[in-house]
Amino acid sequence: MAEAKLAEAPATEAGIEVLSVKDLQAWYGESHILHGINFSVKAGEVVTLLGRNGAGKTTTLKSVMGIIGKRTGSIRFDNQEIIRTTSDRIARMGIAFCPEERGIFSSLDVRENLLLPPVVRAGGLSLDQIFTLFPNLKERLSSQGTKLSGGEQQMLAIARILRTGARFLMLDEPTEGLAPVIIQQIGHTIARLKSEGFTILLVEQNFRFASTVADRYYIVEHGKVIDGFANSELSANMDKLHTYLGV
């Protein structure tokens, strides 16, 4: 029997550029972090930002989400300029951000964490669809956040944003600190979401994991994109990756 689809197909045609970032500059207070970031993401892709710690990858995601106070340049989503758009309005456009620290509410149980974020667009996953992706969560519905393992917390953090109706997902270091079996499950989940038409912008330190899910890569160094290539070009770029990342 064919596997049930998770959600309705997105309106945006696959292969169409859905996010375009040009000359993105960003600051934390007086600290200038991004120095002209340029990259794009097409609908239905998994695009990975690679780079060492402190390169500006997380700041890039936060800038797209509108949670960096000072930023200049251009961020276009679905052909709309959003560089001056507030984060709540960006969320309603269909972008969701899963932070590295996961941000679940430790005093709430799994069900409460899942139901807390508002649905901002039609097409969000139901609880039953989420449990298809993360059966562990169904078994832990009444467990408080503090009782969950690191892997279960990560599953919950991703599951929450799938309820909102967002079709463009930004995942920041989703495999950080997780056991290999959980990393494999996260990889299967990303592949499933991609097959259902979700678009994913991924920040990862774990290059070996990224290589199993990504369509394209951008290398970020000192607040700039210094290189980029498709997964099909990976073998030809391994020497450069060793230099960039020390992998």
Q: For residue 4, is it within any domain?
A: no
pLDDT in tens, 6-52: 655 444 566 799 999 999 999 999 999 999 999 999 999 999 999 99
Per-residue model confidence (pLDDT) at position 95 = 96
Domain containing 45: what range?
17-245
Per-residue model confidence (pLDDT) at position 3 = 55
Q: For residue 147, is it within any domain?
A: yes
Distance CA 157, CA 233 (A): 32
Confidence of residue 1 (pLDDT cuts 50, 70, 90): very low
- Identify the three-state secondary structure at position 24: strand
Q: Which pTM does this prediction carry?
A: 0.91
Which amino acid would we find at residue 24?
L
> Percent of the chain at pLDDT above 70?
94
Per-residue model confidence (pLDDT) at position 9 = 45
Say which CATH number the domain at 164 has. 3.40.50.300
Per-residue model confidence (pLDDT) at position 10 = 47
pLDDT of 152 over the 50 cut: yes
Per-residue model confidence (pLDDT) at position 69 = 86
Q: How far is CA 94 from CA 74, 88, 121, 198, in A?
A: 18, 10, 7, 11
Q: For residue 218, is it within any domain?
A: yes
Q: For residue 12, is it within any domain?
A: no
8 Å CB contact between 231 and 214: yes
8 Å CB contact between 165 and 119: yes
